[in-house]
Amino acid sequence: MKEGAARLAEHREVWEGKPVLSRVYGVWFDALLARLPPRARVLEVGAGPGFLSRYARARADGLRWISTDLLETPWNDLVADGLRLPFRDASFDAVVGLDLVHHLARPASFFTEAARVLRPAGRVALIEPWVSPFSYPIYRWLHHEGCTLGLDPWSPFGGEGAEGKDPFRGDAAVLRRLMEVTPEARWRELGFQAPSLLRLNGFAYLLSLGFRRGSLLPAPLAGALMSTDRALGPLARYAAMRALAVWEKA
């Protein structure tokens, strides 16, 4: 656990020393925040380095935000397991996450718990990796996590249970597979309507090199490249690197 917290602290160090990265992520954060009800009580699960909560608290007036993570850190509000949330029924208007579901050993347990703690008409909003024809070779061969196109998204790490799984182990294909193989009836069993999906281009993110040291994206060109990401929105089906998925409580 201490090693995990040190890894999160390292990500925060890179974030602080690389302003272009926060600009790139800000586009995705804005898309998520736009899906939340006004003055919502929000639970963030898997808050990790704390970037989303910091952004939301600085820019979204009226939101009541609780950030949780499996690892104890000084910047998140609470230690909590996303598969066993320590909250009463109907406590929140929204449950959100950044890079969450593709790390979960049992995604069904998360959705069941999210439905339980959500009020009527509540929603789940997640930003996750998205596998497209453009992003697949990047996630498959240039990224530290897996990208397994044929995996079972409800048991993405096979028999490896939640207790024995490395919290940082992930597979970029999970969200896409959830969209591909899950019928509406299954989502209703879990307490939700079928999700909506917004694919997000990430050419600026790619040149920023993410959380690696250094960047190929000069700060003066960041705005232009992010504008290119937006302008090429119609091509996101083929080129997206991220997606925003939103589930309304049934």
Q: What is the mean pLDDT of each run of 10 residues along the chain (250 residues)?
A: 85 94 96 96 98 95 95 96 97 98 97 98 98 98 95 89 80 98 98 98 95 92 95 96 97
Helix 19-33 and helix 219-231: axis angle, to 10°? Answer: 30
Strand partners, 42: 65, 94
- pTM value is 0.96
Tokens of 232: 């090429």
**Whose CA is closest to 200, among 140, 132, 109?**
132
Rounded Cα distance, 57 and 74, in Å: 16
**Whose CA is closest to 105, among 33, 34, 157, 44?**
157
**Whose CA is closest to 175, among 249, 110, 86?**
110
- In this prediction, residue 158 carries a pLDDT of 87
Run of H or E residues at 220:
helix 219-231
Instruction: Tell me the pLDDT tens digit for each residue of 45-82.
Output: 999 999 999 999 999 889 999 999 999 999 999 999 99
Instruction: Tell me the pLDDT tens digit for each residue of 227-248.
Output: 999 999 999 999 999 999 999 9
Would you tell me how many other CB atoms lie within 10 Å of the CB of residue 166?
11
Read off the DSSP letter of residue 249. Answer: B
The structural domains of the chain, ordered by start, are 2-248 (3.40.50.150)
Tokens of 63: 């939101």
- In this prediction, residue 192 carries a pLDDT of 98
